[in-house]
Amino acid sequence: MPVISRLPLSQRNGRAEVGRPRELACYSRSGSGQIKVNSDENLRYYYFPDGALDTRPNLSIGRGSFRDYRSSMEDVCSLHGLLETIQSTEQSKKAKMKVHIVTFRGIIRKMISSAFEGRGRRGFANDMDFRMVIFDGQLFIKEEKKKDLREASGRIDLNTFTGYKFEALTTLPKPLCLCTRADLESRPSQPVDNGDEFVTVVGTSIGGCRIILGAEVDGIFDFKEEAERSNNVPHYMELKCTKSVEDMRDAQTFQNKLFRTWIQCFLVGIPRIIYGFRNERYELASIEEYTTSEVPEMLGGAHSEPSTDCGDAVVWYGTIVEWLMGILTRYNQKASPEDIIPFRLTMQDGELQLSDIQASDGEYDSIVNGDAVLSNEFKAWRRQLHRDTLTQ
């Protein structure tokens, strides 16, 4: 695949104004892959009183019975749920959503992190492997299928499992006032899985670019607003679990993790980060809460590292988006609204590289004529909407 555009990881184009993210819609996805648009049935609610730490719950218990739904999904990185939600919103309004980029938060996070993890060193390992298409005047970006979470033994990696266990231990399937004592007390022994998820669909902007981001939400911290068109992003939180900080090396590792978590939350406006810290016996030793807005100051102290510079990350975010907008403008002029133009986006040799996927490439047909990136239903909807617009 010939490289048609490059963005050096060292390039910065100046700070761009970042808009305030707002929730546009949401959906729930089951372990079997069923999508329920504008459903919050998989949304969870945070509840973990301070006294619960006294029991030192063991986060490794239940690993053997963990049910890994994601490894059996055909494509866990699929955009189809996000596209179905966008289509539902457009059908209700009888109008196309006027944005430039549609993708998941994790994809933008990886692009931003590419300039900081290893400081963009040539040869630094990076798993960025995205497929991008231009369709109907917009950019759609998805990640290629991820590797299996399981080890050679067939069991999930223990550190990964503790993250799921921490979420199960600290959240409830409904608000506290609707839960029974049994709901609360059974959490440590409940089977853990990675099936159900709740995804918020957020509209945001940077510079002159409007973006739709899908983002999995770990839960509600306080309460959920039920009014129509309410914006629940300020009530969402991000849950993470990591090893306790015992020395300077641990502290640096945690700073890097917190930096990545900050990017995740900053992109979609989630205001609260909750970290669980496990000891060497995998017991939950402590919990710390951070506001997303305070993290840049925490990481920007006297001993701050260039690899955790939040201000530079925002500038790089704007540079990435400006580059993508240039590609959209360049190729959109050559295409009819119904055409699909496919690309591969990777990070190699200290730069983001965009490659042209040509008709002779093996994956071309599945991307352009199949549903490897865009669902056939979404393509049909947009093409019909375009034709309807022309006849008005």
Give pLDDT tens digits for 74-114: 888 999 999 999 999 999 999 999 999 999 999 999 999 99
C-alpha 375/C-alpha 209 separation (Å) is: 24
Q: How confident is the model at residue 153 (pLDDT cuts 50, 70, 90)?
A: low
At residue 190, the 3 state secondary structure works out as: coil
Q: What is the pLDDT of residue 152?
A: 54
Q: What is the pLDDT of residue 302?
A: 47
Q: What is the pLDDT of residue 336?
A: 79
Stated pTM of the model: 0.95
Amino acid letter for position 370: G
Which residues 6+ apart lie within 8 Å of 332 measured at CB?
Answer: 134, 137
Give pLDDT tens digits for 192-210: 999 999 999 999 999 999 9
Q: How confident is the model at residue 390 (pLDDT cuts 50, 70, 90)?
A: confident
Instruction: Give the CB-side neighbour count of residue 122, counting CA atoms within 13 A.
Output: 2
112: tokens are 């931003």
Give pLDDT tens digits for 300-329: 864 567 789 999 999 999 999 999 999 999
The CA–CA distances, whole Å, from 40 to 77, 212, 252 equal 20, 19, 37
The residue among 228 and 288 whose pLDDT is bigger is 288
The residue among 117 and 356 whose pLDDT is bigger is 356
Amino acid letter for position 353: Q
Q: What is the mean pLDDT of residues 258-279?
A: 98
Q: What is the pLDDT of residue 373?
A: 98
The torsion angle over the Cα atoms of residues 77, 83, 89 and 92, rounded to 10 degrees, is -140
Please say if the pLDDT value at position 50 is more than 90.
no
C-alpha 274/C-alpha 46 separation (Å) is: 10
C-alpha 48/C-alpha 167 separation (Å) is: 10
Please say if the pLDDT value at position 232 is more than 80.
yes
Which residues 6+ apart lie within 8 Å of 233 measured at CB?
Answer: 21, 22, 23, 200, 202, 268, 269, 270, 271
Q: What is the pLDDT of residue 123?
A: 47
C-alpha 70/C-alpha 147 separation (Å) is: 10
Please say if the pLDDT value at position 149 is more than 60.
no
C-alpha 228/C-alpha 113 separation (Å) is: 35
